[in-house]
Structures are given as structure tokens and as C-alpha cells.
Amino acid sequence: MRTAVRAWLAHLDVERGASANTLASYRRDLARYTAYLAASGVTRPEAVTEAHVTGFLAALRTGDADHGPLAASSAARTLVAVRGFHRFLALEGDTTEDPAAGVPPPSSPSHLPKAIAVEEVERLLDAASAGDTPAALRDRALLEVLYGAGARISEAVGLDVDDIDLDEGVVRLFGKGGKERLVPLGSYARGALTAYLVRARPAFAAKGKGTPAVFLNQRGGRLTRQGAWGVVQAAADRAGLGDRVSPHTLRHSFATHLLDGGADVRVVQELLGHASVTTTQIYTLVTVQRLREVYAQSHPRAR
């Protein structure tokens, strides 16, 4: 079983270009899956049945002595790894059947993306640039990229200096699966990046070993996702927004505010790097909900 898992992960890495984060997540999911199968006496892929996959899914939801119960969304994500693994083995001819093909993921309640108002974004950005220190300039530039380009946190911290063209006003982002896209940068983001690159980044870089990363930590190395998360959370606390804001909140707000301003959903799809417009269309629900709220508060016959 372990050999089969390694083969699938190698396929994802080499043939599909999966990101390091995706591979690490799938590796953890399949380690738990193979441990469950081993406890059931199953050590070879061809011995797995649909009942085993269904039993594993039930075990994810109920938990065990070593793991707490998973929410439907987390269990569904783990099942994605299991289904991809068995589909690969069937296509490669290592097994004659795909035991996971008929196992549906657990349904979870749908949640609209959490966007904050434009005024709250401005408060957050102002809070990130408290003072004129190198760290303050970096933090402001980071948040401007997260909101101004709709970047995922992994895309922002993965930026290299050559990925930014301030003259043209564009940034090159590498999304899931290494998919590349160009996103325009507004004047605020360009100004914040210019101030950081000229006045702050050299001070950070002098402490490091010459990394090409745009956003650096106090030791001169690339800022980590955890470090960027801390930057956002600290700014949110100072802005009085508390736990309402995460790096992904800024991406949600980017999309929602574009649609509120009349942007075409397919343009927003390209800017976000979504493979399907269906993924982007959930943001239109946010704007409809906001329209209803404004109508209910303002129209004399709304109640």
C-alpha cells in the first residue's frame, strides 16, 4: 500500500505539478487512510472494497482515540485524496476496480464567503502601516497585494522580485497547480510596494542570504504563510476587526467589491485564477445578499 501511495504522489508531483502544500496534505490524508486499512487487515490496494472506503469516511466523522471527529468539509477533503488515489490505481491497471468511485462525499452546509466593507478594508490597511518602520512598510505592501490583487496568502509570500512589474502595473501570481496569471495592480498597491522595495526591503535583505523573495522576515528570509497570517491578524486587532479578518477575507473582499462595482463575473474568474466560473459565481450571492440588505433598510415598502 505504501508503494502505491508513493507512486500516486510522485505522479501528482511530476505529471500534474501539484503544489508542495497539496502533496503534504494528501500525504497526511493517505497515511491516516492506510493506517485505518491496516487495522482492518488490508495491506494491498486490490483488497480494498467500497465498504472499507465507506467505513473510513464514517470513522473520519466520528473520530477515534487518536483523532477528533472531522467536520463534513474536512472529511470531504480527505475523501478527495482517497478517491484520487484509487482512480489512479485503476487507470494504471494496478487494480481492476475503483472501490471509492461510488462513495459520495458528506454534504456540508454552504457558507457565503466573508467579505468586509470597503471602509473596513481601509481601516485595516491604515492599521497595517502604523509608523514608518521597515516592518510597517512591508506589512502595508503585503496587505495591499492581498486585497489589491486578490492574491492567496501562498501566492503573496511566494512572490519573487521579478514577478512584479511596477512600470506596467502588473504582478505575476502562481496559483494552484503552478497555474500562472497576471493581475493588474492599482495605484495604492504600486505605491505601497515601491515604498517597501526602496525603503524597507534592503534592510531586511542585508540580514539574509540573497533570497529573491519580495516579502522578507526579520532574518532576511522569505516571509512564511504563518508570518503573513500574523501580520494580517495584528492589523485586524489594531483596526478593531478582531477575528473577522483572515488573509482569505481580503481575497473574498476583492472579488465581492469588484462585482459590486459592476465587473463581469468571468473577468473576476480570471483575476482570481479559478478554473471554473462556477467557483466564482458564489461571490454573486454575496452581492445579491447585500442588495437585499440595503433594500430592506432603505425602501419604505420593504417591510
Based on the residue annotation, tell me whether 179 is a catalytic residue of this protein.
no
Shared-domain flag, residues 141 and 272: yes
- Return the percentage of the chain with pLDDT > 90, whole number: 71
Give the tens place of pLDDT for each residue, 131-142: 789 999 999 999
Based on the residue annotation, tell me whether 207 is a catalytic residue of this protein.
no
Count of domains for the chain:
2
Provide the pLDDT for residue 162. Answer: 96
C-alpha cell at 198: 526602496
Q: CB neighbours of 110 closer than 8 A, spacing ≥ 6?
A: none
> Of 152, 190, 222, 257, which residue is the catalytic one?
152
Specify the pairing of strand 180-184 against strand 170-174.
Answer: antiparallel
Provide the pLDDT for residue 36. Answer: 95
Give the tens place of pLDDT for each residue, 42-76: 999 999 999 999 999 999 999 888 889 998 888 99
Based on the residue annotation, tell me whether 252 is a catalytic residue of this protein.
no
> Of 77, 83, 176, 225, which residue is the catalytic one?
176
Provide the pLDDT for residue 243. Answer: 81
pLDDT at 9 over 70: yes
Element (H, E) at 213: none
Based on the residue annotation, tell me whether 283 is a catalytic residue of this protein.
yes
Among 199, 249, 241, 196, smallest CA distance to 223 is for 196
> Of 138, 251, 252, 257, which residue is the catalytic one?
251
> Of 52, 140, 201, 274, which residue is the catalytic one?
274
Is 97 a domain residue?
A: no
Separation in Å, CA 4 to CA 29, 44, 89, 98, 166:
14, 9, 8, 14, 46
CATH code of residue 183 = 1.10.443.10
The secondary structure of 2-17, three-state, reads HHHHHHHHHHHHHCCC
Rounded mean pLDDT of 270-285? 85
C-alpha cell at 27: 500525504
Lowest mean pLDDT among 23-37, 81-95, 107-121, 254-268: 107-121
Is 303 a domain residue?
A: no
Shared-domain flag, residues 62 and 165: no
> Of 26, 147, 196, 283, which residue is the catalytic one?
283
- DSSP state for residue 264 in the 8-state scheme: -
- E strands along the chain, which residues? 164-165, 170-174, 180-184
Based on the residue annotation, tell me whether 196 is a catalytic residue of this protein.
no
Shared-domain flag, residues 205 and 282: yes
> End of a domain among 92, 126, 148?
92
Separation in Å, CA 39 to CA 34, 69, 99, 185, 194:
9, 18, 18, 53, 57
Rounded mean pLDDT of 215-231? 95
Mean pLDDT of the chain: 91
Predicted TM-score (pTM) of the model is 0.65
Provide the pLDDT for residue 108. Answer: 66
Is 240 a domain residue?
A: yes
> Of 27, 172, 248, 290, which residue is the catalytic one?
248
DSSP string computed for 16-85: S---HHHHHHHHHHHHHHHHHHHHTT--SGGG--HHHHHHHHHHHHH--SSSPPPPHHHHHHHHHHHHHH
Shared-domain flag, residues 43 and 165: no
Q: Residue 30 and residue 28: Cα distance in Å, rounded?
A: 6
pLDDT at 230 over 80: yes
Based on the residue annotation, tell me whether 176 is a catalytic residue of this protein.
yes
pLDDT at 297 over 90: no
Domain hosting 214: range is 118-296
